[in-house]
Amino acid sequence: MAEYLASIFGTEKDKVNCSFYFKIGACRHGDRCSRLHNKPTFSQTVAMLNIYRNPQNSAQSMEGLTCNISDMEMQEHYDEFFEEVFTEMEEKYGEVEEMNVCDNLGDHLVGNVYVKFRNEEDAEKAVLDLNNRWFNGQPIHAELSPVTDFREACCHQYETGGCTRGGFCNFMHLKPISHDLRRQLYGRRRKSRQRARSRDRESGSRDRGRKAEHDHKRRRSRDRERSGRF
């Protein structure tokens, strides 16, 4: 029985635990959900809820009409937001493995930002600090998220432009950043890791050289003692 319960945990067959919360860290029913939302006590991923505002969705003219914002302006606005948050996370809390922003319209997903840190300790530190901070004039609500594999959480039809549910889909519509910004943010991290590995190799090479020299001196000293020479 225990093995069976473990095998269905977080799936649609699980009648106790909410599969949507387990997969995407959010549920459209919220506190009214009939199934349990098991909030993690430790995780690599931090969710900052409802902090991104898409101008194409929220901007309104004086007459109540949607403001005209070009796709290029929209991408520039989004890239600026993404770079600001990503850089802040890395500088204050620790190395970021992955960051994703939801472009959904449902209340439980709209504007959610998910930051997956390399270390769980950094994620815990970030949550404690972020809940005492503000962004764009509103308090930040941050929590540890059960999501660690965004391939399971995202809507694959959205990625190919074929999601029929639009912004109210219950799976994540992850808004992409520009290729240039991706290379800048994630490429910088790869270069930093390469430099660190290079330093480690150089340090290891020096250590091995010193050890070899030390061993050589010991052998020469031992040979002298055996031969009666000084």
Among residues 177, 197, 221, the one where a domain terminates is: 177
Statement to judge: residues 170 and 144 lie in one domain: yes
CATH number at residue 21: 3.30.70.330
Statement to judge: residues 131 and 186 lie in one domain: no
Statement to judge: residues 129 and 22 lie in one domain: yes
Q: Tell me the pLDDT tens digit for each residue of 83-118.
A: 999 999 999 999 999 999 999 999 999 999 999 999
Q: Residue 224 above 80 pLDDT?
A: no
Statement to judge: residues 45 and 70 lie in one domain: yes
Average pLDDT over residues 6-11: 47
**Alpha-carbon 191 to chain mean position:** 19
**CB 44: neighbour CB atoms within 10 A?**
22
Q: Residue 220 above 70 pLDDT?
A: no
Q: Which domain holds residue 154?
A: 1-177
Statement to judge: residues 187 and 216 lie in one domain: yes
Statement to judge: residues 74 and 38 lie in one domain: yes
- Indicate the number of domains in the chain: 2
Statement to judge: residues 104 and 74 lie in one domain: yes
Statement to judge: residues 186 and 204 lie in one domain: yes
Higher pLDDT, 130 or 202: 130
Among residues 139, 160, 177, the one where a domain terminates is: 177
pLDDT at 192: 55
Contacts of 73 (CB under 8 A, 6+ apart): none
Statement to judge: residues 94 and 106 lie in one domain: yes
Statement to judge: residues 167 and 196 lie in one domain: no
Tell me the C-alpha distance between 160 and 174, whole Å.
12
Statement to judge: residues 83 and 154 lie in one domain: yes
pTM for the whole structure = 0.75
Among residues 138, 162, 177, the one where a domain terminates is: 177
Q: Residue 5 above 50 pLDDT?
A: no
Statement to judge: residues 90 and 152 lie in one domain: yes
Q: Could you give the C-alpha distances from 83 to 120, 123, 193, 197, 222, in angstroms and in order?
A: 22, 18, 20, 26, 62
